[in-house]
Amino acid sequence: MERKIMLAKSAGFCFGVERAVNMCLDESKKSNGKKIYTLGPIIHNELVVDDLRKKGIDVIESPSDITDPSNTVVIIRSHGVRKDVMDELESMGVGIVSATCPFVSKIHKIAYDKYREGAQIVIIGSRNHPEVDGINGWCKDTAIIVENEDEARNFPDLGDKKIVIVAQTTFNHRKFKYIVDILKEICYNVEVMNTICNATEERQSEARLIAKGSEAMLVIGGKHSSNTQKLYDICKSECPNTFFIQTLDDLDLVDLESFRSVGITAGASTPNKIIKEVQSYVRTEQ
């Protein structure tokens, strides 16, 4: 049986992730004996984090983990961090390299500026995601976080207070629009800033299209990757035979042997090497 393989053109590292990883590699080459840390995993991919650790870049979870500030460089991960965390690092005198995705930094500025103007910040996103926590930290933890349509329907009555809506950069684009429509029916003075990055919209749209035309779908990415989970949910809604894998080791070809067409996509933190390995294996093992 000849199997048709459809690989998403948008699969793999996005601009922000590639930039963050490259910044880590650059720092490892010019460390000059200093200890290099990322504050939290630089991206949500364990293989990449392990590879950076082998190059001398370890992960810490808090500035309090730093024991020798003057001999330390801290790389801010692609998801960004809260303003109070940045302030603490600066006060400690450590070297700071910000690998925050520029699209995330843009949201930080919006939250900071609009909060100071008196607006109520609303973040549409996953409440426990580090990017969302970071954004909330730029408006002193006053943001109202909305994860789904039910929460939007139960949004508090804020009267005529100005509301500024932003989104987690990797949030489901369709879901964002649904939630915004609900909030606009409830609230009077709303400014919507669609801060979902273009690469996310493109990746989600392409994944949906490929899944719709495939008998089976593979979604590759880290198990803690929010954007990969959203890709999986989108693909699953279009193709019941959708499988979430981290690497080739997670793939059981018995699951695929009866399917003549297989689509493949991957999250923004998935290295191209892993995608190619999966694609090659699915194509040859029939």
Catalytic residues: 131
What type of residue sits at position 57?
Answer: I
| Tokens (6 digits) for 239 | 């193709």
Please name every residue paired with 187 in a beta bridge, in sequence order, or none if there are none: none
Neighbour count for residue 226 (Cβ, 10 Å): 25
